[in-house]
C-alpha cells in the first residue's frame, strides 16, 4: 500500500497541471505535432515528385502501422503508433544515411532513373532542404493570417514608463525616449524590444535612443526576472524595465501581412540561433532545454485557451522544427546537406565509412539530447523534487 500511495503521488505531479484536463495534453500535442510533421515530410515528398523521384513510403509516426493505404503511384501512406516524427522513404534509399539499397544498381535503367541516388546532387539537396523550408513557409502563412485577420502588435518603440529600480532606470532611459536600435539591431515596434533582450540576461547592450531630436547611446544590462504565467508556472526572462506608452494592436493590409510574417519568422529564427550559440559557449544551461513532454504541456494549455492560441503555437514550433532540422547533424536534414555540399565541392560523395560513423555520432547525440530534455521536462513538472521528498 505505501508503494501504491507513492505511485499515486508521483502520477498526481505529472497529471495535475493547473486544471487543464489530462486528455487535452495528448490531444493538443497531436493537433500541433501531427500537422507539422506532415507539412515537413510533405515538403520532401512534393519536391521529390517535382524532381521525378518515386516515394515508396510516406509515414507519420514511427513503429507499427495503425492505418495505411497505397496510392496509384505505388506510395504507401501510413500512420505509426508513436507520433514523434515521420519520414519519406524514396525509391533506392536504404537508410537514414541515404545510402543506396543493395538492389539499386540492378534495377532497369528506366526505373533507376526515378530513384533518389540517381539524382544529381543539386536535386537531392533540394529535396532534403524542402522539409525545413516548408516548415518556415507554413509558419509564415499562419503568422500572415494572424497579421491580416486577427491583428499584430504595432505599438511604436517609445518608452511610456520606466520601472523603478530597473536596468533602464539605472542606465538613464526616460519616458518619451524612442528606442532606435539595440546592439545595432533596428527596433521598429515596441514588441521588438522584449524579443531582443529576453534571452540575454546580464549582457550589456548598446541601446540607441532618440531624445529631443538627437540620438544618444546608453549601456543597458537586462536583468533576469522570475514571473508566473496564467497557469501558475514560473518562468524567467530578461527585461530592461520599460513599458509602451500606448498599446496598439491592428490588422495589417493583406498585401503587407506576408512581409510582417516573414519579419517575425526571421526574428524567431535569429533568437533561436542566438540561444543555441549561448548553449554551445556555456552561457546558457542545458537545463533550459525542453522536449516532447513540455511541448505536450504547452500544447494542452494552448488548446485550453482556444484554437487561436493553439494555431499560433503551431507556427512557433514549426519555425523551431525547421531550424533544428537544418542543424548539421548526420541524422537531420542539415547533416545530409553538409554531405551534399562536400560532394558538390569534391565532385564525389564522402566515403561511405565516414558517413556511417557520422550517422552513428549523430544518432548518439540525438538520443543523448532526448534523454536530457526528457529529464528536464520531468523536473519542470516537479517530479524529481517530489520523489526526493518521498524518499527523504
Other beta carbons within 10 angstroms of residue 339's beta carbon come to 22
Q: Does the pLDDT value for residue 228 go beyond 80?
A: no
Give 278's contacts (C-beta < 8 A, 6+ positions apart): 199, 284
Specify the pLDDT at position 103: 67
Specify the pLDDT at position 386: 67
Mean pLDDT confidence for 309-313: 92
Specify the pLDDT at position 10: 38
Domains of the chain: 2-149+315-391 (no CATH), 153-250 (2.30.42.10)
Other beta carbons within 10 angstroms of residue 330's beta carbon come to 24
Q: Does the pLDDT value for residue 6 go beyond 80?
A: no
Mean pLDDT confidence for 261-273: 93
Supply the DSSP string of 108-134, one letter for each residue.
Answer: -HHHHTTSSTTS-HHHHHHHHHHHHHH
Q: Is 180 exposed, middle or buried (0-12, 13-18, 19+ CB in 10 A)?
A: middle
Residue range 87-115, pLDDT digits in tens = 999 988 765 555 555 566 667 777 778 88
Give 379's contacts (C-beta < 8 A, 6+ positions apart): 287, 385
Counting every residue written for the chain, the total comes to: 392
Residue range 67-78, pLDDT digits in tens = 899 999 899 999
Q: Does the pLDDT value for residue 296 go beyond 80?
A: yes
Residue range 120-169, pLDDT digits in tens = 999 999 999 999 999 999 999 999 999 999 999 889 999 999 999 999 99
Indicate which residues carry an active-site annotation.
Answer: 41
* Segment (H or E) for 135: helix 121-145
Q: Which three cell numbers stand for residue 143?
A: 503568422
Q: Which three cell numbers stand for residue 312?
A: 499560433
Amino acid at each position: 500500500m505505501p508503494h501504491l500511495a507513492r505511485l499515486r503521488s508521483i502520477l498526481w505531479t505529472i497529471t495535475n497541471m493547473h486544471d487543464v484536463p489530462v486528455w487535452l495534453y495528448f490531444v493538443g500535442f497531436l493537433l500541433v505535432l501531427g500537422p507539422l510533421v506532415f507539412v515537413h515530410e510533405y515538403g520532401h515528398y512534393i519536391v521529390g515528385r517535382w524532381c521525378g523521384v518515386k516515394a515508396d513510403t510516406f509515414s507519420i509516426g514511427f513503429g507499427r502501422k495503425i492505418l495505411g493505404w497505397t496510392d496509384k503511384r505505388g506510395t504507401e501512406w501510413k500512420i505509426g503508433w508513436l507520433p514523434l516524427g515521420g519520414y519519406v522513404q524514396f525509391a533506392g534509399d536504404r537508410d537514414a544515411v541515404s545510402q543506396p539499397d543493395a538492389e539499386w544498381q540492378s534495377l532497369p535503367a528506366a526505373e533507376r532513373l526515378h530513384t533518389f541516388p540517381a539524382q544529381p546532387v543539386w536535386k537531392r539537396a533540394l529535396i532534403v532542404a524542402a522539409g525545413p523550408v516548408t516548415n518556415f513557409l507554413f509558419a509564415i502563412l499562419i503568422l500572415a493570417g494572424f497579421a491580416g485577420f486577427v491583428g499584430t502588435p504595432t505599438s511604436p518603440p517609445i518608452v511610456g514608463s520606466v520601472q523603478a529600480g530597473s536596468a533602464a532606470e539605472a542606465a538613464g532611459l526616460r519616458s518619451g525616449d524612442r528606442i532606435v536600435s539595440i546592439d545595432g539591431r533596428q527596433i521598429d515596434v515596441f514588441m521588438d524590444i522584449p524579443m531582443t533582450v529576453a534571452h540575454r540576461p546580464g549582457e550589456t547592450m548598446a541601446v540607441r535612443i532618440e531624445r529631443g531630436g538627437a540620438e544618444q547611446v546608453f549601456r543597458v544590462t537586462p536583468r533576469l526576472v522570475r514571473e508566473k504565467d496564467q497557469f501558475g508556472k514560473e518562468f524567467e526572462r530578461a527585461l530592461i524595465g520599460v513599458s509602451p506608452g500606448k498599446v496598439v494592436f491592428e490588422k495589417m493590409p493583406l498585401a503587407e501581412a506576408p512581409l510582417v510574417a516573414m519579419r517575425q519568422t526571421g526574428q524567431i529564427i535569429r533568437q533561436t540561433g542566438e540561444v543555441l550559440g549561448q548553449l554551445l559557449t556555456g552561457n546558457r544551461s542545458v537545463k533550459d532545454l525542453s522536449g516532447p513532454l513540455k511541448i505536450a504541456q504547452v500544447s494542452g494549455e494552448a488548446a485550453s485557451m482556444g484554437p487561436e492560441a493553439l494555431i499560433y503555437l503551431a507556427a512557433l514550433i514549426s519555425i523551431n522544427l525547421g531550424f533544428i532540422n537544418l542543424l548539421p547533424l548526420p541524422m537531420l536534414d542539415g547533416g545530409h546537406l553538409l554531405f551534399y555540399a562536400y560532394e558538390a565541392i569534391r565532385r564525389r560523395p564522402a566515403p561511405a565509412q565516414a558517413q556511417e560513423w557520422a550517422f552513428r555520432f549523430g544518432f548518439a547525440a540525438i538520443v543523448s539530447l532526448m534523454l536530457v530534455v526528457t529529464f528536464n521536462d520531468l523536473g519542470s513538472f516537479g517530479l524529481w523534487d517530489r520523489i526526493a521528498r518521498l524518499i527523504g
